Amino acid sequence: MQVIHTISELRQALAGISQRAFVPTMGSLHDGHLALVRQGRAAVGEGGAVIASIFVNRLQFAPHEDFDRYPRTLERDAGLLAGAGCDYVFAPAEGELYPETQGYKLHPPSELSDILEGHFRPGFFIGVCTVVAKLFNIVQPSIALFGKKDYQQLMVLRRMVAQMALPIEIIAGETQRSAEGLALSSRNAYLSEAERSEALRLSQTLKTLIARWQAGERDLAKMEAEANQHLRAHGWQPDYVTLRRQHDLGVAVEGQPLVALAAAKLGATRLIDNLEA
Ligand code: PAF
């Protein structure tokens, strides 16, 4: 496996390889990322290339967020990627990807990107779409893999690829969880031991929301308010706990596939999770 830091070297290394599976990451890798790499390997076979990028993208962080303290663990990550069957790690310095202020940005439609995560993190999806589009131009993958843990991100990026007619198949990876049910996330590294066990409450709250809907309750406003209240009572600061339809994260309606989503702060750490119903 090769670790490459420049666009020109990566392009050279990939010349002549048509099947390319790409896993964009911000590093601090866990089994969720490695499962995507393995999925990519299986999809392109031995003749293809699996590329992972590691780049903490300043554009998707608000000034008060954790850009500076986001864990940067390139050596450890490279070892994990090699073990999972990755061929190339693209780890550009900030000046390589953004040699000048990135004035051209990709703005996803407001109805997809100003709700939920986008409501609480204004500009987040502009940053994500801009960097992912740029990485797609550099890597030119045939397939790209994203985890369902970032459910809205996956939806926004699928639409971007469709609307911009990019010749890339987007593949979704299932959320990987600890044995107790905690969704794996790079930000779990911020949690204390006590917070780590409390963090399980987030997915349990989503399960309860889905169970109530499946049992026939339909007063969503009440159910969501109670879920928020439940988290608050245990020391969380929830941004949202909600049941939506999977397709576009619009209002949940009978007979359509649904997903329960939540984002909440536990201490200084903001966690997100979702469960498909
Ligand atoms: O999901 C992430 O880690 C990031 O949002 C991504 C897709 C790598 C873009 O920076």
**pLDDT tens digit string along 203-255?**
999 999 999 999 999 999 999 999 999 999 999 999 999 999 999 999 999 99
- 128: Cβ below 6 Å to ligand 1? yes
- Report which ligand 1 atom has the smallest distance to the Cα of 24: 8
Name the residue among 274, 241, 58, 16 with its Cα closest to residue 154: 274
Instruction: Give the helix ranges, DSSP H, for the chain.
Output: 7-14, 31-44, 74-84, 94-97, 110-113, 117-120, 124-139, 151-163, 193-198, 200-214, 220-233
| Cα 264 to ligand 1 centroid, rounded to whole Å | 19
In this prediction, residue 127 carries a pLDDT of 98
Query: Over the stretch 73-107, which tens digit does the pLDDT of each residue have?
Result: 999 999 999 999 999 999 999 999 999 999 999 99
Distance in Å from the first CA to the final CA of the chain: 39
In this prediction, residue 109 carries a pLDDT of 97
Q: Which residue among the candidates 33, 64, 230, 234 is catalytic per the annotation?
A: 33
Mean pLDDT of 9-35: 98
* Portion of the chain with pLDDT greater than 90, in percent: 100
In this prediction, residue 144 carries a pLDDT of 99
- 156: Cβ below 6 Å to ligand 1? no
| Cα 24 to ligand 1 centroid, rounded to whole Å | 6
Question: How many Å is the Cα radius of gyration of the chain?
Answer: 19
Name the residue among 173, 219, 202 with its Cα closest to residue 263: 202
As given in the structure block, the two tokens for residue 215 are: 């049992």
Query: Over the stretch 56-74, which tens digit does the pLDDT of each residue have?
Result: 999 999 999 999 999 999 9
- 53: Cβ below 6 Å to ligand 1? no
- Is residue 33 among the annotated active site residues? yes
* Portion of the chain with pLDDT greater than 70, in percent: 100
Residue nearest to atom 3 of ligand 1 (CA): 25
In this prediction, residue 113 carries a pLDDT of 96
Mean pLDDT of 125-148: 98
Domain limits, the chain: 2-173, 191-276
- Give the residue carrying structure tokens 């988290």: 231
The CATH class of 2-173 is alpha beta
The CATH class of 191-276 is alpha beta
| Cα 242 to ligand 1 centroid, rounded to whole Å | 23
Band of the pLDDT at 199, cuts 50, 70, 90?
very high
Rounded to 5 degrees, φ, ψ at 159 are -65, -40
Residue nearest to atom 1 of ligand 1 (CA): 25
In this prediction, residue 226 carries a pLDDT of 98
- 144: Cβ below 6 Å to ligand 1? no
| Cα 120 to ligand 1 centroid, rounded to whole Å | 17
Name the residue among 62, 28, 59 with its Cα closest to residue 132: 59
In this prediction, residue 160 carries a pLDDT of 98
CA distance 115 to 64: 20
In this prediction, residue 263 carries a pLDDT of 98
Name the residue among 186, 192, 189, 181 with its Cα closest to residue 150: 186
Band of the pLDDT at 26, cuts 50, 70, 90?
very high
